Amino acid sequence: MSTRLPQLINGEFAQSATDTWIPVTNPATQEVLCEAPAATGEEMEQAIAAAKAAFEEWREVPVTERARLMMRYQALLKERHDDIAKVLAKETGKTFEDAKGDVWRGIEVVEQAANIPSLMMGETVENVARSIDTHSWIQPLGVCAGITPFNFPAMIPLWMFPMAIASGNTFVLKPSEQDPMTPNLLAELFLEAGAPKNVLQVVHGGKQQVDTLLTHPEIKAVSFVGSVPVGQHVYRTATEHLKRAQCFAGAKNHMVIMPDAQKSQVVGNLVGSSCGAAGQRCMAISVAVFVGDSKQWIDDIKEEFAKVRPGAWDDAGAAYGPQISPKARERILTLIKQGKEEGATCLLDGSGCTVDGLPDGNWVGPTLFTDVKPEMSIYNEEIFGPVLCCVCVDTLEEAIELVNNSPYGNGTSIFTASGAAARKYQHEVEVGQVGINIPIPVPLPFFSFTGWKGSFYGDQHAYGKQAVRFYTETKTVTSRWFDDDIADATHSGPNMTIHLK
């Protein structure tokens, strides 16, 4: 029997009492790596109650001590970086290099969380009226919850719980049931770094466990990352239950290629940004928009695509790994078939891809479509696979219109040698993260991750200053102190305006 993954509840990693166990498989082989529990209702209650009880103490811990916890955690994550990446690579199928990147991007957020004293600074205005001062503080909310997707099992949990906990909250994490081993390891290391008991809980499962978090009165804020339909469900349910919510959802990211761009940069970056991580990135480029004569480069792109091959996580020559599940692979193959039926030209078809020695892996080879039109399913739907759709337009204005008509707004980029074209694009495009000659413009954590439109529901974004705003409430204090002389002079009533001259 395979190993059963424990949950972190009430300060202990313990086995669930559930009858429902979800197999976690190696997507390159279908070998069952472990089973994750679907937490029972009682376990969910215990986790939330323990987090609530811990909040009363944790909120009183000085901000400098909270910062030091994050410094120790950051050091430990760095020390164990490769071990975490190995676990991550096995359960996601990502190449080792890519898995290390996943861990590293998470560590950068922990570094940011270690800056919490300056991030929590409030504001002060002296003499808002005569002898009256106002200051504002930000204070933690209580128990916050995080629901994370399969595609970044280190980075995305680390977007959430370090920022929330450093801000003085306690946290219940419900990771993806498809790769829960990495989040469990992150939680183990958090305890090893000295996190107080119950500041973090980790429960496992799917919809039922998520719905408990969304409706439970003790959960004050919900952070979600995942697909559009689930993101909409999470946002609607959480806000209907009067919680704060930030929901990062699906995407369809366009790269606009101007004829004056550097061809070798365009070709190399398009391959990496569309096929990397098997296309399973919310910031992957899935549409290339060729403006004017740049369409001549499509043949060169096809040549580069044809050189790329997937493989196992420890195959140093593999450009990317398998899709996360047979179901995800089937969905991608159906979309490729639909693309052909709807009239797009398939220059390279990865549907029949195999990898030597790994006949059961969820492989999809690099796939390139041209003559793609906005009404086609391959243009409209998030494919989340190594599939690039090429669209040709005549002008930059047309390209901007196309991108702005997309319901998604996570990321986009423009490749050009013209400052004027880049300036126009960054100003007019309705997308939250823009790269100029950078294909995947994910901001470092001193900024925030700022998807727009159908790629994000909420207002405050992930990490950086916005995460601290999301995980805190502002309290504004107006104060006046009397000494005998002032008290005699003013005789004020409740309306402070009587002091204004």
Binding site residues, ligand NAD, CB under 6 A? 147-152, 174, 176-177, 206-207, 210, 225-227, 230, 233, 248-251, 282, 382, 384, 410, 451, 455
Least CB distance from residue 230 to ligand NAD, whole Å? 3
CA 146/CA 173 separation, integer angstroms: 5
Cβ contacts of 346 within 8 Å, gap of 6 or more = 336, 339, 340, 367, 368, 369
Least CB distance from residue 96 to ligand NAD, whole Å? 20
Q: Which CB atom, from 174 or from 329, has the smaller least distance to ligand NAD? A: 174
Least CB distance from residue 485 to ligand NAD, whole Å? 58
CA 451/CA 410 separation, integer angstroms: 4
In the 8-state DSSP scheme, what is residue 443?
A: P
Query: Among the options 144, 247, 275, 282, which is catalytic?
Result: 282
Q: Which CB atom, from 170 or from 450, has the smaller least distance to ligand NAD? A: 450
Least CB distance from residue 17 to ligand NAD, whole Å? 20
Task: Please identify the residue of the shown chain whose CB is closest to the bound ligand NAD.
Answer: 226
| φ/ψ of residue 163, rounded to 5 | -70, -40
Q: Which CB atom, from 225 or from 467, has the smaller least distance to ligand NAD? A: 225
Q: Which CB atom, from 148 or from 269, has the smaller least distance to ligand NAD? A: 148
CA 368/CA 389 separation, integer angstroms: 6
| φ/ψ of residue 480, rounded to 5 | -145, 140
34: annotated active-site residue? no
Q: Which CB atom, from 267 or from 431, has the smaller least distance to ligand NAD? A: 431
Least CB distance from residue 257 to ligand NAD, whole Å? 23
Instruction: Residue 23: count other Cβ atoms within 10 Å of its Cβ.
Output: 14
Edge-to-edge order in the sheet of strand 200-202:
12-14, 7-9, 200-202, 170-174, 143-147, 219-225, 244-248, 456-457
List of long-range contacts for 428-434, beta carbons under 8 Å, 24+ apart? 428/400, 428/404, 429/400, 429/403, 429/404, 430/403, 430/404, 431/253, 431/403, 432/456, 432/461, 433/283
**Catalytic center residues:** 282
